[in-house]
Amino acid sequence: MALDKQQLEEMYRRMCRIRYFEEAVIEIHSSGELIGPAHPYIGEEAVAVGACAALRDSDRIAGNHRSHGHPIAKGGDVNRAMAEILGKSGGYCKGKGGSMHLADFSIGILGESGIVASSVPIATGAALAAKLSKQDFVSLVFFGDGASNQGACHESMNMAALWDLPVIFMCENNGYAITTSYKNSVSVDHVSDRASAYGMPGVLVDGQDAIAVHEATSEAVRRARAGEGPTLIEAMTYRYEDHSLGLDRIRKSEYRSQEEVDEAMKRDPLPIHREAMITHGFATEAECDAIEAEVHTEIDGAVEFARNSPFPEPGDLFDDMWATPV
């Protein structure tokens, strides 16, 4: 295995971080502290973590509305992420972005986006900058099966392949766009089948297995850095929770059967990774337990940090509009 103990443990740590973070968000939401929508990433942790484990800090990512897992996987700070979700001044965007717009430019997180597929051209442009300025960073964009049907996606894939841009298109196929199944909206068996239409490799990977996602992404990153162009990866995954917190009209089981949900939840990415580490002798049960306990403490701390962080002042309203003041 290309990954060592430290890397595998860090991956597990980040998967736990995302899981417990989202559980905390759900709890906070039910208490009424969180006003806007939030889209839980529970069940999909292995995709973001496997992908980001193949990246450097200088590499760029962009994401979508299901937006807490990507920055956490890239190494984002859970305190600032939680504070942002609560609209606090200590948040990543000083409370101006919220759940769907976490960003940390200092570690290559170019921001999450609420308009489905609108980050795909942005990440493509980041890769264009890498190519034109002859820097060796790559960019990776997370988008859903639903997003794969947007023109922005198709336009970007064409440009990226045409110009051999160092970008990885990471499709998180969780089976649904809100309630519309991908089988009812994607014209081919798999989103990754479309790659051949643009002349780039299309890779189908088990999105519940962080190690498999890491391996597929590593090859795509190698290609990108070598100037061989983009790759489309489709990670098959599953969303455990409702599409969005607060969207109570659309319960998770009304457009998909309970059996389907139960079946999918048997392949939980956290135990899959934990068992892989133990089976292959990279970590002991006790070490995994310790990681889980540490992350629980960390997330409790994030909630406390967020709650204690002050709201922005009315005087902050007009800040951050222009980079060159008018």
Ligand X SMILES: Cc1ncc(C[n+]2csc(CCOP(=O)(O)OP(=O)(O)O)c2C)c(N)n1
Binding stretches for another protein (CB under 8 A):
60, 62, 91-97, 101, 103-105, 110-111, 113-115, 118-133, 137, 139, 151-152, 155-156, 158-159, 162-163, 319-324, 326
Residue type, 196: S
Contact residues: ligand X, CB under 6 A: 65-66, 114-116, 144-147, 174, 176-178, 243
Residue nearest to ligand X (CB): 144
Site for Mg ion in 175-194 (CB under 5 A): 177
Instruction: Say which entry of another protein, Mg ion, ligand X, none residue 147 contacts (CB below 5 to 8 A, set by partner kind).
Output: ligand X
Piece of 69-77, 172-180, 184-192, 251-259 that binds Mg ion (CB under 5 A): 172-180
> Least Å distance between CB 104 and another protein?
8
CB atoms within 10 A of CB 187: 7
> Least Å distance between CB 224 and another protein?
14
Q: Which helix (H) or strand (E) holds 78?
A: helix 78-85
> Least Å distance between CB 152 and another protein?
5
Q: Nearer Cβ to another protein, position 171 or 213? A: 171
Piece of 97-105, 135-143, 167-175, 255-263 that binds Mg ion (CB under 5 A): 167-175
Residue type, 195: A
How many Å apart are CA 321 and CA 326, to the nearest integer?
10
Q: How many residues in the shown chain lie near Mg ion by CB under 5 A?
A: 4
Residue type, 254: E
Give yes or no for residue 144 binding Mg ion (CB under 5 A). Answer: yes
> Least Å distance between CB 185 and Mg ion?
10
Q: Which residue has the tokens 């940390």?
A: 104
How many Å apart are CA 87 and CA 4, to the nearest integer?
38
Instruction: Say which entry of another protein, Mg ion, ligand X, none residue 178 contacts (CB below 5 to 8 A, set by partner kind).
Output: ligand X
User: CA 271: distance to chain centroid?
Assistant: 19
- Please tell me the number of Cα atoms within 13 Å of 247 on its side-chain side: 15
Spatial neighbors of 218 by CB under 8 A, at least 6 apart, are 2, 54
Q: Nearer Cβ to another protein, position 41 or 198? A: 198
293-to-20, 297, 298, 303 alpha-carbon distances in Å: 11, 6, 9, 16
How many Å apart are CA 153 and CA 248, to the nearest integer?
30
> Least Å distance between CB 83 and another protein?
11
Residue nearest to Mg ion (CB): 144
Question: Could you tell me the two tokens for 2?
Answer: 């290309």
Spatial neighbors of 114 by CB under 8 A, at least 6 apart, are 64, 65, 100, 101
**Strand ranges, E, within 17-164:** 60-62, 139-144
Site for Mg ion in 110-139 (CB under 5 A): none
User: CA 129: distance to chain centroid?
Assistant: 22
Give yes or no for residue 145 binding Mg ion (CB under 5 A). Answer: yes
Instruction: Say which entry of Mg ion, another protein, ligand X, none residue 9 contacts (CB below 5 to 8 A, set by partner kind).
Output: none
Instruction: Say which entry of Mg ion, another protein, ligand X, none residue 162 contacts (CB below 5 to 8 A, set by partner kind).
Output: another protein
> Least Å distance between CB 98 and another protein?
9
> Least Å distance between CB 316 and another protein?
9
Q: Is 21 exposed, middle or buried (0-12, 13-18, 19+ CB in 10 A)?
A: buried
